[in-house]
Amino acid sequence: MTWSTLEDTRRIAAELRLPSRAFIDGAPAAARSGALFETLNPATGAVLATLPLCGADEVDRAVAAARRSFRDGVWSRATPERRKEVLLRLAGLIRAAAPRLAVMESLESGKPVSDCLKEIGGEVPDFFQWYGEAIDKSYGDVAPTGDAACALIMREPIGVVGAVLPWNFPLLMAAWKLAPALAAGCSVVVKPAEETSLTTLALAELAIEAGLPEGVLNVVTGPGETTGRLIGQHGDIDAVSFTGSTEVGRLFLQYAGSSNLKTVGLEMGGKSPFIVLDDAELTPELIDHAVTAAFWNAGQNCSANMRQIVPRRLQDEYLARIVDRLQSLAPGDPLDPATGMGPMISAGHRRRVQAHLERGRAEGARLVHAGRVDPALAAGSYLAPVVFGDLTAGMSIAREEIFGPVLGTLPVDGMDEALAVANGTEYGLHATVFTRDIDRALHFARRLSCGTVAVNGFTEGDVKTPFGGWGKSGSLARDKGREAMAQYQQVKTVWIGLKTPVDRRAGGAA
Residue type, 347: A
Q: Of 229, 250, 276, whose CA–CA distance to 426 is shortest?
A: 250
Question: With respect to ligand NAD, which residue has the nearer C-beta, 106 or 243?
Answer: 243
C-alpha span between 166 and 297 (Å, rounded): 13
270 is an interface residue for ligand NAD by CB under 6 A: yes
In the range 403-422, which residues lie near ligand NAD by CB under 6 A?
Answer: 403
Q: Where are the beta strands (DSSP E) in 195-331?
A: 217-219, 239-243, 263-267, 273-276, 307-311
As a three-state string, the secondary structure of 25-38 is: CCEEECCCCCCEEE
User: Out of 175, 202, 268, 277, which residue is the one contacting ligand NAD (CB under 6 A)?
Assistant: 268
Instruction: Based on the shown chain and the rule CB under 6 A, indicate whether residue 193 belongs to the binding site for ligand NAD.
Output: yes
Distance CA 269, CA 262 (A): 22
Judged by CB under 6 A, the residue of 200, 243, 305, 339 near ligand NAD is 243
Q: Does position 306 bind ligand NAD by CB under 6 A?
A: no
Distance CA 218, CA 63 (A): 8
State the first-to-last Cα distance of the chain, in angstroms, to the nearest integer.
72
Task: Indicate which single residue of 191, 271, 307, 440 sits in contact with ligand NAD (rule: CB under 6 A).
Answer: 191
Residue (66 or 174) nearer to ligand NAD, CB: 174
Of the ranges 81-89, 241-249, 332-340, 374-382, which one interacts with ligand NAD (CB under 6 A)?
Answer: 241-249
* 200, burial (CB in 10 Å: exposed 0-12, middle 13-18, buried 19+): buried
At 47, is the secondary structure helix, strand, or coil? strand
269 makes contact with ligand NAD (CB under 6 A): yes
The reply to whether 401 sits near ligand NAD by the rule CB under 6 A is yes
Q: Tell me how far, at minimum, the Cβ of 470 lies from ligand NAD, in Å.
A: 11
Touching ligand NAD, residues 282-301 (CB under 6 A): none
Task: Tell me: does residue 184 bind ligand NAD (CB under 6 A).
Answer: no
Q: Is 267 in the site for ligand NAD (CB under 6 A)?
A: yes
Among 52-60, 126-134, 228-236, 496-504, the segment contacting ligand NAD (CB under 6 A): 228-236
**Among candidate residues 302, 23, 20, 51, the one with its CA nearest the CA of residue 167:** 302
d(CA 241, CA 450): 20
Site string for ligand NAD, 139-178 (x = CB under 6 A): -------------------------xxxxx----------
- In which element (H, E) is residue 492 found? strand 489-497
DSSP state of 474: B
Residues shown for the chain: 510
Cα angle, residue 452 at apex, residues 451 and 453 outer, rounded to 5°: 130
Residues in region 82-121 near ligand NAD by CB under 6 A:
none
Task: Pick the binder of ligand NAD from 38, 57, 141, 225 (CB under 6 A).
Answer: 225
Size of the site for ligand NAD (CB under 6 A): 29
d(CA 468, CA 173): 13
Point out the residues that are catalytic: 267
Query: Judged by CB under 6 A, does residue 248 bind ligand NAD?
Result: yes
Site for ligand NAD in 472-491 (CB under 6 A): 474
- Judged by the rule CB under 6 A, the positions of this chain that interact with ligand NAD are 164-168, 191, 193-194, 223-225, 228-229, 232, 243-245, 248, 251, 267-270, 302, 401, 403, 429, 469, 474
